[in-house]
Structure 1
């Protein structure tokens, strides 16, 4: 089921057949580095993804597939840690198909997903984090209206080097200002 439309992408519910893409992207060292700051992607077997899929109704992560307008899966986007009291969720995204990097597909997916989250969940805030070397992601988040709110100094160890973790957020007010300009 389609949940959001952007100019370049559609976002839809995750299906059983998508697990092969999730596995491929998770096991790609370059994708894993930029998505999770993991230098050495593991060769996670498909059965692990199948177990997760079967138990996902109890998971705090709600994951969706990003696909091109011609229905090619290129990545995933998710929210987690929904806090109904403080009305906050944490956003996560990765474009797993590298030929789509740097071409606006991630930015378009974030914009569409943020619209979906504010329209369907009773939230006031979306937050995310990334590490300091992920300049492309930081710029994409800022284009979508996220603001840098803080830095956790040397909080992530990647390949023997400590990196700062950049905390970013967007409130409903921020989103409404952007939406009213368009």
Structure 2
């Protein structure tokens, strides 16, 4: 059974999802806080999606799809997990701006963390976020993440460097 929340379902990515990702990554509002990649053509994006490695314990990449319409609106990833450490890092974003600020991000993050704790048997989930990305910081705190530290000038944004906050959530702290 796929991880399902109140508003979203998390599902494996399909090759056809490349179309949405390519469109999202061209939008400066969506890409503002993402790690900048080298530009790739639409054909290169499609080829990359067609050749994706299968999900595994150490790297789970899922699409965020609305429960009601079945529309892909974002992506969520748990990476770097090992059974020995029971830790993983999360990366997450919504690419469809019409769904921003409507609870879909919160539901997706809760669903992903619940999957990490219950299915992957993780003890700790961590993430890095730019403090100026206030909406993301609020979302992470809302689901229970706490600030652990700061990495100074670690993210190159448009025209300047930004600090990164390290935040984590332990098993049992999900709200």
TM-score range, shorter chain: 0.7 to 0.9
| Number of residue pairs aligned between Structure 1 and Structure 2 | 173
- Tell me, yes or no, if structure 1 residue 50 matches structure 2 residue 47: yes
Match of 1:107 in 2: 106
Measured on the aligned residues, the alpha-carbon RMSD in Å equals 2.2
CA distance in 2, matches of 1:44, 1:26: 11
Taking a change above 3 Å as real, the CA distance of residues 86 and 48 of structure 1, as seen in their structure-2 partners, is: same
- Provide the rounded CA distance (Å) in 1 between the counterparts of 2:9 and 2:53: 22
* Cα 1:50/1:61, change in 2 over 3 Å: farther
Matched residue SS, 1:82: coil
User: Secondary structure of 2:101's match?
Assistant: coil
Q: CA deviation at 1:113?
A: 1.1
Structure 1 residue 13: Cα displacement: 1.5
Other structure's SS at 2:144 match: coil
**Are 1:148 and 1:169, in contact at CA under 8 Å, matched by a contact in 2?**
yes
Quote how far apart the aligned CAs of 1:45 are.
Answer: 2.6
The offset of 1:106, in angstroms, is 0.4
Match of 1:147 in 2: 146
User: How do 1:24-103 residues align onto structure 2 when only pairs under 5 Å count?
Assistant: 24-34=23-33, 36=34, 38=36, 42-57=39-54, 61-69=59-67, 70-103=69-102
TM-score, normalised by the number of residues in structure 1: 0.85
Runs (4 or more) in structure 1 with deviation over 6 Å come to: none
CA distance in 2, matches of 1:103, 1:14: 23
Q: TM-score, normalised by structure 2?
A: 0.88
Q: Secondary structure at the match of 1:83?
A: coil
Higher helix share: 1
| Structure 1 unaligned spans of 5+ | none
Structure 2: state its 5+ residue gaps. Answer: none
When you count strand as a share of all residues, which structure comes out higher?
1
2:18 aligns to what?
Answer: 19
